[in-house]
Amino acid sequence: MMAELANCAQCGRLFAKVVRSVCDVCYQEDEKMFETVYKFIRKKANREASIFEVSEATGVPEKTIIRFVREGRLRASQFPNLTFPCDSCGKPIDTGRTCSDCNNQLKNELESHDRFVQKQQVKERITYYTEK
């Protein structure tokens, strides 16, 4: 496999990109943060901690913990309070970027737009001929 030069997505350092978008230093740091978070929430007393509480206790930024949940490295099925806000409405979710309500609303808006476009295309196809 051929490696290409890239800038690390986290620190900007130049590195040989093979698989990851971050350099080895940032990758190792990320793995240490994951282990810290995982060790904390694995304890029975901490399994129901929120992302904020985990962040406060471990020193790992909330944004990083949210990324671990989004990547599936931490499963909300095992840790029920590891939720983060929907990008659209702010409702707590444990997967994806938006809640089911916002997903449905977006789907309905897209379907409505598609129907509108189809009607416009039908109107454009109608041709009238008049006598001179």
At 116-129, the pLDDT tens digits run 888 887 777 766 66
- On whether residue 63 sits in a domain, the answer given is yes
- On whether residue 6 sits in a domain, the answer given is no
- On whether residue 36 sits in a domain, the answer given is yes
- On whether residue 39 sits in a domain, the answer given is yes
Separation between Cα atoms, residue 127 and residue 106, nearest integer Å: 34
Of 72 and 56, the structure prediction assigns the larger pLDDT to 56
- On whether residue 89 sits in a domain, the answer given is yes
Q: Which value, in Å, is the radius of gyration of the alpha carbons in the chain? A: 24
> Judging by DSSP bridges, how do beta strands 4-7 and 14-17 pair with one another?
antiparallel
Residues 65, 51 contacting (CB under 8 angstroms): yes
Range of the domain at 57: 24-121
Separation between Cα atoms, residue 23 and residue 16, nearest integer Å: 8
- On whether residue 12 sits in a domain, the answer given is no
Percentage with pLDDT > 90 across the chain: 43
Quick check: 104 pLDDT over 90? yes
Quick check: 55 pLDDT over 90? yes
- On whether residue 81 sits in a domain, the answer given is yes
pLDDT confidence of residue 19: 84
Neighbours of 47 (CB within 10 A): 14
Q: How confident is the model at residue 52 (pLDDT cuts 50, 70, 90)?
A: very high
Q: Which residue has the tokens 């454009």?
A: 124
- On whether residue 112 sits in a domain, the answer given is yes
Q: How confident is the model at residue 83 (pLDDT cuts 50, 70, 90)?
A: confident
pLDDT (average), residues 8-33: 90
User: How many domains does the chain fold into?
Assistant: 1
Residues 11, 23 contacting (CB under 8 angstroms): yes
